[in-house]
A and B are shown apart, each in its own frame.
Chain A
């Protein structure tokens, strides 16, 4: 018993010691901030979403040390920043999440006087409904939701619109991304409705239409969709352009189509969360990333479409003119950006999607 008591005592002592060290460290870090000796920039971004050589270049040019942390979903990022205890200087949420964070007062307004590269950005990707006037965010990458097809099983040109997916000849050959917003959105777009609808009849009708797609659906999967498509497991997939780029890099039989009848246009923008500790470094990074040559380098590495017009011009012609990643103006004009619908409507979308998943073949 004595030994057990000792052991418990020792463990408690160690825990207390570690806690004390932690508090001391935090204090010294804070005092470091006050005296302006803070040279660290903490970036909270998606995994593998920046060219590492750019981070090195940034550190060399500015003398700041970059601490790069990653998340794998907007919701996870939101929860972590909201719960506090973090000190991210910059984060890269998607469109609807920026709106949600703005509503929750989690963002700091950007001082446009300190931003030098705003003119490099394409006007079409600025001033979006989720952040009018780009008061809180600067575009980082953008993309679309579309259809990936394998030319071994599907003829080029057979897939032009969402409705083509309902063709009975694609029985048991479509993979859907496991995301209520995207799959409900794609169905709404196929019927000419808005992907942001807040109308129960429209959603119910979309769910009914989606049920009729079930015979064609092979599986509803998450990130594994990339692996499956690269392995020829299915002929068609509904997925984001970013995932599609990764699949195509692995399997040259795959192609990506942005349906002409509407759908989702998404953005990942850089924001400054309330947890920002090093504003000068954050502005330095924003300006660094908006330089055309850096934006181009980053786009080439990540494979997504850059909103930086001057940067895009520097990209090789084969990438710049690829309709898969930079769709024609006419297609682009039909696309809609997701809005934050609030918890009630997100729940509705999800419930309908769950019901759809329960549909028997």
Chain B
């Protein structure tokens, strides 16, 4: 009876997973072995790994995703730490989450208004006598906007792990003579590592394939794999090649998940 019960509970979820997770991934993998004429081929993968263009693009994607992740982490950790110590922590968290309710495109257009030649930032720079500068379509502007968009997804998990952190452990560290710096590096940071890892996963992976921003803000001067996928699906209609890049992105994501997985749990299980 109880087995039956758990089974009927899981049916909707299994159905959901099969329909919206497993089936699309299988379709993507199948597509990636097809050429423009729909025949089975390994050419797409061969093209990918033999063409300097795609490899350079992959390197670019990883490089930019890495920098953006580092920037967001550097901003988010102190911010999450301060927020977790504040009185109305939930309220501040709400303020951080609020921008995610606004559509990505709207935010990108808002940045165009700020960064463009006649935009707010350049007006200010000219006002204080050091402008105007070319801000749009540079690597810097792309990284700023990408980091801005990703910051909430980094703060949330770090904030949660810091809030769950047992205050008495910090007090104990102080009582035992640790300096504030030692408390931070030896107690707080290691204890909140799971949040940091979750944050890295939530930021690094989407940034790998960010494509609207590369065009709108980066003016296609920053090319990531997302750009190539978009082009293969919409312009050349070479779905095979587009899917191949998609599969490679999935593999890259799996690798990221693997390297940032929670190793502590494993130990816990062994102990248990």
Task: Write the residues of chain A forming the contact surface with B, with a CB cutoff of 8 angstroms.
Answer: 1, 4-5, 8, 73, 75-76, 172, 175, 178-180, 218-222, 224, 227-228, 231-233, 343-344, 346-347, 350-351, 354-355, 357-358, 361
Contact = CB atoms under 8 A, between A and B. Distances in A.
B137 interface: yes
Given A172-B134, A354-B231, A221 B215 contact: yes
Nearest to B57: A358
A162 B53 CA distance: 27
Contacts of B227: 357
A351 B11 CA distance: 45
B118 A350 contact: no
Contact of B236 (A4, A222, A350, A358): A350
A4 to B, nearest CB: 7
A64 to B, nearest CB: 34
A4 B116 contact: no
A1 B9 contact: yes
Interface of B: 5, 8-9, 11-12, 36-37, 53, 56-57, 60, 112, 116-118, 134, 136-137, 215-216, 219-221, 223, 227-228, 231-232, 234-238, 241
Contact of B12 (A4, A179, A346, A354): A4
A75 B235 contact: yes
Given A76-B234, A224-B215, A347-B241, 8 more contacts: A75-B234, A178-B215, A218-B137, A232-B118, A343-B36, A346-B236, A354-B228, A357-B220
15 contacts: A1-B5, A8-B11, A8-B12, A172-B134, A219-B219, A219-B220, A228-B116, A233-B117, A343-B237, A346-B236, A347-B36, A347-B236, A347-B241, A357-B220, A357-B227
Given A1-B8, A358-B56, A233 B237 contact: no
A228 B12 CA distance: 48
Contacts of B8: 1, 4-5
A196 to B, nearest CB: 16
A219 B9 contact: no
A350 B231 contact: yes
A102 to B, nearest CB: 17
Contacts of B237: 75, 343, 346
Contacts of B136: 219, 233
A227 B112 CA distance: 10
